[in-house]
């Protein structure tokens, strides 16, 4: 079994308005600035990522992780519980945007 981690899971800046879900998971440890930027940047970025398997959105942290695992084609943990050290949860509400 292959674990998909580390990765970053973050609360979306606009609660899913542009992103499609309240939480996003990225198969990377870097959050692109436009993904949490002002309205125009955020909207454009989330539209452009399209079917990129390294980005997943959902209404829960676990859901975003599970979706990312499926999209990348890796196996999740057998009990479907993500170990705490497997991800970094970032609160982007304090990040500056326009």
* C-alpha atoms less than 13 angstroms from C-alpha of 26 in its C-beta half-sphere: 17
Q: How far apart are CA 80 and CA 57, in angstroms?
A: 17
* Residue-level pLDDT at 3: 53
Mean pLDDT of 20-48: 88
Q: Give pLDDT, residue 32.
A: 86
pLDDT on residue 81: 56
Q: What is the pLDDT of residues 53-63, one digit of tens each?
A: 788 999 998 89
Higher-pLDDT residue of 21, 53: 21
Q: Which residue has the tokens 């990348």?
A: 72
Residues 6+ apart with CB under 8 A from 77: 1, 3, 83
Contact 65, 5 (CB under 8 A): no
Residue 14 class from Cβ within 10 Å (0-12 exposed, 13-18 middle, 19+ buried)?
middle
């Amino acid at each position: 079994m292959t674990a998909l981690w580390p990765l970053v899971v973050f609360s979306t800046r606009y609660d899913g308005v542009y992103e499609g879900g309240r939480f996003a998971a990225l198969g990377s440890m870097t959050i692109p600035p436009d993904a949490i930027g002002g309205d125009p940047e955020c909207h454009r970025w989330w539209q452009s990522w399209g079917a990129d398997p390294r980005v997943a959105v959902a209404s829960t942290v676990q859901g975003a992780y599970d979706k990312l695992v499926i999209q990348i084609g890796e196996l999740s943990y057998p009990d479907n519980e993500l170990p705490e050290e497997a991800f970094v949860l970032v609160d982007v509400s304090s990040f500056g945007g326009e």
